[in-house]
Structure 1
Amino acid sequence: MNPEPINLNQTQSIQSNHIENLKVISVNKFIFLSFISFGLYQIWWIFKAWRFFLIKDKLNIMPAVRAVFSIFFLYSLFNRIKNYAKEQGYINDFSSGWMYLAYLITTLLVYLPEPYWLISLCDIIFLIPAFKALNYAQKQIVTTIEQEKFNTSQIILIIIGCIMWLLIFIGFVISFLYK
C-alpha cells in the first residue's frame, strides 16, 4: 500500500507547523530597537534569523554562537536570507559581500574617540536589506504574525536603553562643561 502523495498546500502546512507563531516586526521598530540598545538588538535579530534557518533547514548549528560571533557568520547569513527570499518571490536584491563589508567597517568605528564612536550605530543601515528580505520571506508562511506593539522584553530593553542614553548624554554635557 503506497502512502498518499503530499500536495504543495500540505507541504506548506507541514513546514509552517515546524515554525509556529513566527513574529516579525516592522523596519522602523527594528531600527529603533537597535539604536536604543546600542546594537544589542541586532545580535538578537541575528540569533532569531539563524534559529529560523536551524528549524527550517534542520541545520546542525548553534544560533547563539553564530549571533555572538556574527562577524564570522554574517556573510553566510546574508546569502542564506537572500536565497530564501528569492525562493519566496522577493524581487529586491542586495550584495551580501558589500553589505557584510560595510557592516564590518561601520561596526569597527566603535573604536573611534568620544563622541565619534556613535557613528558605529549606523551599522544598522547594512542589516536593513537582509531584514526586509527575511521579513518578506517569513510573511509567506501562513502562521507568521506581524507584531503590532512592543512586547514586554522589548519594553524593558527600551527602558534600559533610555537610561543608558541619558547617562551618556549627561556624561557628554559634564565633559563639555569641564573642558
Structure 2
Amino acid sequence: MTPIQTSSKIEPQKMMSLKKFIFLSIITFSMYDIWWMFKAWRFFQQKDRVKIMPALRAVFAIFFLYPLLKKIQNFASEEGETPNYSPVLLFLGYIIFSMLYKLPDPFWFISLSSIIFLIQPFQALNAAKRNAAQVEVIEQKNFNKPQIVLIIIFSIVWALILLGLFLTE
C-alpha cells in the first residue's frame, strides 16, 4: 500500500447498532456484509492515507477479509480497546459458513449465521472509532433511505422464498 499524498481527512463515520447490522445482514442474505467491509476498508484508506481499492477488497473478501480483521484488531488496540478475537478463526468461520449456501433447501439458511463471525470486529471497529480523536462519529438512530429500500426489496424476496419452500411438494 502506498501512501496518498493528499490532506483529505476522514469522512464522518455513521455508526449503527449491532442489532441493525445483524438484521441488515440476514435480510440481505449476507450481502450487507460486503457493504460493511467496503466501508471499513474505505475508513482505513482515509485514516492511513493509502492507495487501495476498498470496493475490490470487499468483493474479494476471500483474499482481504483476514487482513481487514487484523487491521481492525490493531486499530482497536491502538485506541485503547482490547479486542479478544482471533482474526484467523473468524476468517475461517466466516468463509466456511458462507459456503453453506450450497446446502439443499432449507439447510442453506445456516449460511446466514456467518454474520456471527463479524460481530466482534464490528463492535471493535465501532468502539475504536468512538475513541479515536481524529474520527467524527454520527450515531445512526434509524435506518436511512437506502437501507429502507433494501429492507423492502429483500422482504419481498424473503416472502417469495418462504412461499416457495412451503408451497412446493
Tell me whether the two structures share a fold, i.e. TM-score over 0.5.
yes
* Partner residue of 2:13 out of 22, 31, 35: 22
Contact 2:98-2:111 within 8 A present in 1 as well: yes
Q: Are 2:45 and 2:52, in contact at CA under 8 Å, matched by a contact in 1?
A: yes
Query: Paired residue for 1:140?
Result: 131
**Larger Rg over CA atoms:** 1
Query: Once the two structures are superposed, what CA deviation does each residue of 1:101-155 show, in whole Å capped at 9, x if it has no partner?
Result: 1111101101111111110000000001100000001112452111001000000
CA contact (8 A) 1:20 1:144 kept: no
1:162 corresponds in structure 2 to: 155
Q: What is the match of residue 5 of structure 1?
A: none
What's the offset of the Cα at 1:71? 1.1
Q: Which residue matches 1:128?
A: 119
1:22-52, Cα deviation, whole Å (9 max, x unpaired): 1111110000000111111100000000000
Q: How far apart, CA to CA, are the structure 2 residues paired with 1:87 and 1:26?
A: 22
1:98 aligns with 2:82: no
Alignment check: 8 A CA contact 2:11 2:136 kept:
yes
Counterpart residue number, 1:7: none
Give yes or no for contact 2:76–2:128 (8 Å, CA) kept in 1: yes
User: How big is the shift at 1:92?
Assistant: 3.2
Alignment length (residue pairs): 161
TM-score w.r.t. structure 1 length? 0.87
Bigger shift: 136-145 or 94-103?
136-145
RMSD: 1.3
Identify the match of residue 27 of structure 2 among 27, 36, 43.
36
Deviation at 1:93, TM superposition (A): 1.1
Deviation at 1:161, TM superposition (A): 1.1
Partner of 2:3: none
Alignment match, 1:3:
none
Residue segments in structure 2 that go unaligned for 5+ positions in a row: 1-6
Quote the sequence identity (%). 52
The amino acid that maps onto 1:150 is F
- Aligned to 2:72, which of 72, 81, 84? 81
Q: 1:153 aligns with which of 130, 146, 158?
A: 146
1:93 counterpart SS class? coil
Superposition misfits of 4+ residues, deviation over 6 angstroms: none
The residue type equivalent to 1:135 in the other structure is N
Letter aligned with residue 75 of structure 1:
Y
Task: Report the TM-score when normalising by structure 2.
Answer: 0.92
